[in-house]
Copies of this chain bind each other. A is one copy, B any other.
Amino acid sequence: MTAVIEMVEKEFLEYVKKISAYGEALGLIYWDLRTGAPKKGVDQRSEVVGMLSGEVFTMSTSEEMATFITSLSSEEAKTALSQTTNKIVEECKKEYDRNKKIPAEEYKEFVVLQSKAESVWEDAREANDFAMFQPYLEKIVAYTRKFVDYWGYEDNPYNTLLDMYEPGMTVDVLDRVFSELRERIVPLVKAISESENKPETSFLFKKFPKEKQKEFSLEILKQLGYNFEAGRLDETVHPFATGINIGDVRITTRYDEHDFRGAVFGTIHECGHAIYEQNIAEELTGTLLDDGTSMGIHESQSLFFENFVGRNYSFWKKQYDLLKQYAPGQFDHVELDDFYRAINESKPSLIRVDSDELTYPLHIMIRYEIEKALFNHELEVKDLPEVWNKKYEEYLGITPENDAVGVLQDVHWSGGSFGYFPSYALGYMYAAQIKQAMIRDLPEFDQLLEAGNITPIKNWLNEKVHQFGKTKKPLEILETITGEGLNAKYLIQYLEEKYSSVYRLN
């Protein structure tokens, strides 16, 4: 390596470390704001957030950054630099380009609009009044369409938005896998709704004291391999996981004393996210690569733990007795089989976040189709409620009685987060596909769960997925593990087998 490149690399890495440090401070501030920061200090804290975010933005789009990128992107430099440095340059370039292509004035207007739109959306949902939100959403869509024009796109404008959350993902791929999914899930949902073997679920809703739910959650977290020396569990209205740094990945959960499922499965879900970030290679600290590689892969890890571990029969074969200890009396007369069927109940519902693992992908597909049509100018904002309701009838056989439980239910669009929803379903497909590959190495998967020995499963994921952070792209990870691209069939197989059994179909 020439001395000059070496010197520039060193300076660049220091520069990136500073951006990363500001990001870490912001991470802690966000966690604190959501877990109990006193109300009266919030306005001033928002100023601090603005100041630090502004600094990150300035540093990411500075002349200095431009010079780093140019110097380190030459063929000579690329050959000389480590793979990691090349990857950091690539990430910085992507960010730089994205931010520089939008005129600063327009971006500022958009940021102001975003925060207004979000507060209007809240009121509109409260008032069940789409007309109130419509002009704001129209502006948000108009700005986003313009940004896509600035950014440019290949094949389909929506691809550019997908790429922000799932690098490399395209409409072509999604159209294919979603149509395969839809073809098999819709009839399955119908069969289930007509099944006469619905599980009994009333025992799920008896009082389960909050303190006991917490103790059980902590116990399960330990068993799953969540590292408490690198994390902590707190309580919030909306559960989340956040990696402040690799050694500090915190999760939160919520407790409903008359429905323990939220806490238990929510905790397991966030645990999956957290185990991902806790096990990213330490040397990626401070490089901006010490994060999940995409929304979809991140979600694959949370869903793997929530569904493939947490809703697995073998898992409860081991854990049911433990649960009984924490919920004295509640399950005394409930057989394991009945418990298992109850926690895997599926029925069409209107609200995405409350839906079950079988119907969940249908909620996502509806949003995907709407977003795709919006950015291909095949749909306008004013028609959203009608289209939304039609699609719910078509996919789930139910029609929202109003927009509050229909098109107004999600916060995402008010913030301009288009292209984000598909990640949720992608994560699910990735998870099923990864599981399939895992059992080639760990054919005793179910026996491990039965024995309460999650370590080999966790270690496998550490090795194949987690350690890489952002140094590998999502599809690169998937292909290396499974030997093929995205394939919906593993999720379909899993859902058909599982739900046929739970509902005793055929």
Contact = CB atoms under 8 A, between A and B. Distances in A.
Most buried by B among A29, A36, A42, A247: A247
A17 B245 CA distance: 27
Interface in A23-53: 24-25, 28-29, 32, 36-45, 47-48, 51-52
Closest 5 CB pairs of A and B: A41-B248, A40-B247, A41-B247, A40-B230, A21-B51
A434 interface: no
Contacts of A38: 228-232, 247-250
5 contacts: A24-B45, A28-B28, A36-B232, A43-B247, A44-B248
A312 interface: no
A24 B44 contact: yes
A215 to B, nearest CB: 16
B37 A248 contact: yes
Given A52-B21, A52-B25, A41 B232 contact: no
Q: Please give the count of copies of this chain that the complex contains.
A: 2
A227 interface: yes
Contact count band on A: 35 or more
Contacts of A44: 24, 245-248, 285-286
Contacts of A17: 47, 51
Contact of A229 (B40, B228, B244, B248): B40
A473 interface: no
Contact of A25 (B18, B25, B43, B248): B25
A48 B32 contact: no
B245 A45 contact: yes
Interface in A227-273: 227-232, 244-250
A42 B247 CA distance: 8
A249 to B, nearest CB: 8
A24 to B, nearest CB: 5
A43 B248 CA distance: 10
Nearest to A40: B247
Contacts of A227: 40
A206 to B, nearest CB: 26
A35 to B, nearest CB: 10
